[in-house]
């Protein structure tokens, strides 16, 4: 029965005829779809494959492949502390997993070796990266939240601070910030009822400043439990300076100097005292793909630029390095793709589903060496796909390995359909853009059009994969 169904579908060219699942999408939506066999020349679906679309976080597949090809599995970020003359120097490399505990251990090792004293100044070396800390095309209105934390050489605590906001019976709100975060948050937001919020269309708003000060205003619907907040650190250098000063006091290190950004003015030869290394590239990529971690993706992009061009890494040379690496080492030509970052967060990114399908096929063909497929989330079971509405139930649950991506008006997916033995047998790309369904006036729950489309498309993927 499966074979008959597959043969019937294969006789239809979806490049010329309407593809049924698309009927669920609202008018005005644009779509580019690919579904093809990994083992035969069969194309199940090909629609608008040469048009440019925002890839969103599916771009992380491209970044991951470039990192594997250029940096290799032994790559890791390193943070080291040196003595240079009378100064202490901490050299950063953009480690997106670096925490204050790691810096504390480096300072402790330094103080142990030098009689618990730093005689000169402390320098925080940020020269591994250069250029913008945020890519061109990152919207201004999301820069205060942690998924758009700046990509910097001096990265600490994921460039993210956690807090929480409470509603109060007197109509005001209050904010709690753990003491170890050197940031300031003020709230002028009001507590309102749900009906009051709807009547006034008043939302919670955040204003940030370059000195790591945050101001909340607007309204918050009354709630019994606090609302968790995650603030993107606006000035990672200042933040790290403040954290290092906290740790100096905590460790009771004798220190009367200053904490500066850059390299020491004296030209004495630096003496390595201690180093911290991040986990190696496979573990970084596993987290990046399963959790869709933007900071790892963008710091890796800058690291790629630095490694490929032998200079300080940036968004500009990092994204160009990705194109050159794929061309020279994988014969994948994505020269027409517009890349502004490696995470997919920029609204300026554009690529075709044909480009993405080339990347997917290369990853599958060389998976014994790359090992990237195992790092992908599983539909309805792991990573960013665990709770996706269209994937939580049979027959879709557990039958797709893919990377999701979403931006304003874009809902994307790229990955593999599994056969009856649980192995990839097809690749697919879903780029849906300009998706803006009509808002409903009542609160009656409905299945969103994108969910209806995805369920229909993913069912076709599974049927095709298991009969291919």
pLDDT digits 0-9 by tens, 425-440: 999 999 999 999 998 7
Q: Mean pLDDT throughout 369-374?
A: 98
Report the SS3 class of residue 57: helix
Q: Which CATH architecture has domain 2-73+281-467?
A: 3-Layer(aba) Sandwich (3.40)
Q: Domains of the chain: which residue ranges? A: 2-73+281-467, 78-131+237-275, 140-232
pLDDT tier at 10, thresholds 50, 70, 90: very low
pLDDT the model gives residue 430 = 98
> Is the Cβ–Cβ distance between 230 and 214 less than 8 Å?
no
**H or E stretch at 236:** helix 236-251
Q: Mean pLDDT throughout 35-57?
A: 94
pTM for this entry:
0.95
Q: Which residues are catalytic?
A: 57, 60, 292
Q: Record the tokens describing residue 181, joined without a space.
A: 């975060």
Residues 349 and 300: their CA atoms lie apart, in Å, by 17
Q: Topology of 78-131+237-275 in CATH? A: 3.50.80
Residues 167 and 176: their CA atoms lie apart, in Å, by 12
> Is the Cβ–Cβ distance between 431 and 33 less than 8 Å?
yes
CA 164 vs CA 99, 189, 225, 388: distances in Å: 21, 13, 10, 26
For residue 15, pLDDT over 90 is answered with no
pLDDT the model gives residue 17 = 52
For residue 198, pLDDT over 70 is answered with yes
Residues 230 and 146: their CA atoms lie apart, in Å, by 6
Residues 123 and 240: their CA atoms lie apart, in Å, by 11
Q: Mean pLDDT throughout 384-413?
A: 97
For residue 41, pLDDT over 90 is answered with no
Q: What is the DSSP string of 161-196?
A: EEEEEEE-TTS-EEEE--TTS--EEEE-PEEE-HHH
Measured between its terminal Cα atoms, the distance across the chain in Å is: 13
Rounded to 5°, angle at Cα 197 from 193 and 200: 135
| Dihedral angle of Cα 89, 90, 94, 100, to the nearest 10 degrees | -160
pLDDT digits 0-9 by tens, 105-134: 999 999 999 999 999 999 999 999 999 999
Helices 281-291 & 59-70, crossing angle to 10 degrees? 180
């Amino acid at each position: 029965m499966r074979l008959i169904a597959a043969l019937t579908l294969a006789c239809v060219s979806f490049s010329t005829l309407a593809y049924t699942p698309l009927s669920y999408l609202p008018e005005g939506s644009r779509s580019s779809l690919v579904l093809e066999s990994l083992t035969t020349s069969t194309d199940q679906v090909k629609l608008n494959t040469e048009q440019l679309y925002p890839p969103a976080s599916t771009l992380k597949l491209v970044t991951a492949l470039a990192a594997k090809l250029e940096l290799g599995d032994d790559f890791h970020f390193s943070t080291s502390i040196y003595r240079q003359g009378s100064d202490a120097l901490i050299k950063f490399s953009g480690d997106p997993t670096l925490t204050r505990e790691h810096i504390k251990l480096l300072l402790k090792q330094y103080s142990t070796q030098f009689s618990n004293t730093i005689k000169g100044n402390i320098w925080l070396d940020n020269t591994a990266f250069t250029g913008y800390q945020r890519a061109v095309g990152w919207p201004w209105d999301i820069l205060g939240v942690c998924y758009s934390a700046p990509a910097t050489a001096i990265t600490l605590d994921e460039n993210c601070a956690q807090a929480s906001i409470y509603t109060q019976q007197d109509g005001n709100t209050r904010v709690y910030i753990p003491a170890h975060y050197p940031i300031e948050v003020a709230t002028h937001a009001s507590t309102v009822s749900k009906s009051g919020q709807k009547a006034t269309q008043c939302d919670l708003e955040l204003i940030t400043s370059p000195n790591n000060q945050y101001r909340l205003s607007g309204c918050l619907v009354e709630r019994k439990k606090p609302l968790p907040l995650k603030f993107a650190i606006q000035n990672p250098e200042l933040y790290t300076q403040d954290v290092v000063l906290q740790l100096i006091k905590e460790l009771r290190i004798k220190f009367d100097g200053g904490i500066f950004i850059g390299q020491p003015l004296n030209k004495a030869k630096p003496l390595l005292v201690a180093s911290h290394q991040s986990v190696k590239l496979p573990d970084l990529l596993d987290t990046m793909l399963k959790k869709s971690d933007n900071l790892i993706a963008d710091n890796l992009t800058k690291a790629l630029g630095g490694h490929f061009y032998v200079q300080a890494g940036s968004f500009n040379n990092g994204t160009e390095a990705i194109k050159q690496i794929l061309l020279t080492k994988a014969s994948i030509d994505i020269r027409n793709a517009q890349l502004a970052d490696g995470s997919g967060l920029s609204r300026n990114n554009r690529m075709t589903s044909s480009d993405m399908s080339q990347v997917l096929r290369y990853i599958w063909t060389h998976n014994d060496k790359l090992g990237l497929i195992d790092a992908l989330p599983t539909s309805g079971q792991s990573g960013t796909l665990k709770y996706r509405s269209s994937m939580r139930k049979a027959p879709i649950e557990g039958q797709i390995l893919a990377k999701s991506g979403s931006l304003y008006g874009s809902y994307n997916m790229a990955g593999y359909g599994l056969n009856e033995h649980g192995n990839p047998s097809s690749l697919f790309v879903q780029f849906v853009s300009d998706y803006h369904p009509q808002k409903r006036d009542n609160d009656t729950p409905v299945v969103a059009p994108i969910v209806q489309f995805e369920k229909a498309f993913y069912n076709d993927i599974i049927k095709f994969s298991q009969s291919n």
